[in-house]
Every structure is written in C-alpha cells, then in structure tokens.
Amino acid sequence: MSAKTYLTISAVVAVLFGLAFLLAPGAAASVYGVPPDPHTALNLQFFGSALVGFGAVQWVARDFRDWDAVRGILIASIIADALGLIVNLIGTFQGLINGMAWTTTLIYVLFIIGAVYCLSTRAETSGAAATPAR
C-alpha cells in the first residue's frame, strides 16, 4: 500500500467520523451508548472539528513529494491513533461506552498498522519516489 492510499483512506474516515460528531453529536453518542447531554454534545463537536481538521491535513499530505513531510504526517497519525486507542480502551473497560467501541478499537489498530507499514517501507506518494529532500 502506498502512503497516498493510506492517507486518502485515513482522511476520508476521519472526515466522515468528524462530520458525524460535529453535525449530529446526539446520534453519534447514542451509537456508543453515551447518554445525550449538552456538555457531551459540545465535547463531541470539539472532537469532530479536530477530526475534520486532521482529515484535511491528511488529504492534502497525500500529494506531498517530500518524504520528510510525509513521514511527519505518518508519525503524527500514529501518535493520534495510539492516544485515541488508549482513551477508547479505557472508556470501554470502565463501561462508559458500549460494545460498539470495539469497532473503533479495530479502526485505530488498522490505521496504526497502516502508518507503521508506510513508514517501514518508505511507501511512495504521488507516484514519485519518496526520497529525502536534502
């Protein structure tokens, strides 16, 4: 898999989840068994706005030709997904969210694996060789 493919898929997923949390926080919360209240809705909207922004960065980064720039985005993706995974697991084990959280766990794990794979193979972007710009 190329870094362009990874970043495209990750961007689309981030934007879709982000829009759901941003535009329909009550419905998104109910999927995870979270009781709707104004404070939760507001926090989900903040989370959604961050996801949309992160997805936009990944969408733009899929056409980067500089390996160092792509590498930075992939590392940031791993950090964000690893932290999200930890928070998700804590919430799941504490019973704060329902069994649907395991689908989110799977998504985080798959995106971490994808980013690590792209880093380890120096996967190409934009069809150009992803070489260091020195």
Sign of CA dihedral 52, 53, 54, 57: positive
Average pLDDT, rounded, for the chain: 92
Domain ranges of the chain: 3-121
Inter-axis angle of helices 38-61 and 3-23, nearest 10 = 160
Residue 44 tokens, joined: 């989900």
Give the mean pLDDT of 2-26.
96
Please check the confidence at residue 64 and state whether its pLDDT lies above 80: yes
Confidence bin at 124 (pLDDT 50/70/90): low
Assess whether pLDDT exceeds 80 at residue 89. Answer: yes
pTM of the model: 0.85
Average pLDDT over residues 63-71: 94
| pLDDT reading at 132 higher than 70 | no
Percentage helix, strand, coil for the chain under 3-state DSSP, each rounded to 5: 75, 0, 25
pLDDT over 90 for what percent of the chain?
88
- Note the pLDDT of residue 79: 98
Q: Which run of H or of E encompasses 58?
A: helix 38-61
Distances (CA, A) of 3 to 13, 30, 40, 69, 133: 15, 34, 35, 12, 17
